[in-house]
Chain A
Amino acid sequence: DSGVTQTPKHLITATGQRVTLRCSPRSGDLSVYWYQQSLDQGLQFLIQYYNGEERAKGNILERFSAQQFPDLHSELNLSSLELGDSALYFCASSVDSRGTDTQYFGPGTRLTVL
C-alpha cells in the first residue's frame, strides 16, 4: 500500500458526460500528479499541483481540469467525455522538498466511456 488513495476504483459512464476523480496524497506529501494510462498512448503525464498551485501541465485536454484543495487532496474533472477517454487514471504524490523525491502511485481509477 503506497498510502495514496483514489476514488472511485471503477467508473462507467456515457459519452458527453462529466466525471470527477478524487485523490488523497500520502500524509505529508505536497505534490500531486495525474497520469493517464491507455493502450495506444501508454502512461502520460497530465498535470501537477504543488501545495494548491498548478506547477506543470502535460498532455491534458482542454476538456479536463484539476485542482488541489487546502487539505491537499486533488480532483481531476473530465467533461464532454469521448470513447477515447477510456483509460486508467493514476494519481501520484511526492514530498517535493528538494526535487529528489520519488513519486508514489495510487491504485488508479479505471474509466470506461460507453
Chain B
Amino acid sequence: AQTVTQSQPEMSVQEAETVTLSCTYDTSENNYYLFWYKQPPSRQMILVIRQEAYKQQNATENRFSVNFQKAAKSFSLKISDSQLGDTAMYFCAFMKQRGGSEKLVFGKGTKLTVNP
C-alpha cells in the first residue's frame, strides 16, 4: 500500500518570502502521479500542482513549483513570493497510474500561515 508523509504539521512564512513544504511517499509502483492540493479556511480542496512520475522536469504553476526526486521518493512544494491568500492547509497526494483513474492517497497535511 502507498503511504504519504508530510513531516511538517505547521509552518509560517512572511509575506513575499519563499517557503518549501516537504512530502515523502512510499510505493513500489513505477508509474504514478503526485499532487499538491490546497485547503483554505473555506474548506474547498483546490488543486495547486501536478507531477507525472515519468517526467524528469519539475512542474511549475506561476509562483508554485515542485522539487521531484523520484529515487528519494520526495516531492516538495515551493511557494515563491508568498501571499496572504496562500494561508491554508496543504495536502500532498499520490495516485497510481493504471488504465483508469485511481484513488488519491493523502498525507496528513501542513498548515501554512502567511504573516503580513
Least CB separation from A58: chain B residue = B103
Knowing A43-B91, A88-B43, A108-B44, the reply to whether A103 touches B104 (Cβ < 8 A) is yes
Q: Which of A43, A50, A110 contacts B100 (CB 8 A)?
A: A50
How many residues on chain A are close to B (CB under 8 Å)? 28
Knowing A105-B44, A105-B45, the reply to whether A56 touches B97 (Cβ < 8 A) is no
Binding site secondary structure of chain B: loop
Q: At the interface, yes or no: B25 with Cβ under 8 Å from chain A?
A: no
B43 touches A107 (CB 8 A): yes
B108: A residues at CB distance < 8 A: 42
Distance A69 CA – B44 CA, assembled complex (angstroms): 25
B47 touches A102 (CB 8 A): yes
- Residues on A lying within 8 angstroms of B by beta carbon are 2, 31, 33, 35, 42-45, 48, 50, 55-56, 58, 88, 90, 92, 94, 96, 99-105, 107-108, 110
Can you list 27 A-B contacts (CB < 8 A)? Answer: A2-B46, A35-B104, A42-B106, A43-B91, A43-B104, A45-B103, A45-B104, A45-B105, A48-B101, A55-B100, A56-B103, A88-B43, A94-B101, A96-B100, A96-B101, A99-B99, A100-B97, A102-B50, A103-B95, A103-B101, A104-B47, A105-B46, A107-B42, A107-B43, A108-B44, A108-B45, A110-B43
Closest 8 CB pairs of A and B: A105-B45, A45-B103, A43-B106, A96-B101, A94-B101, A99-B98, A99-B100, A101-B101
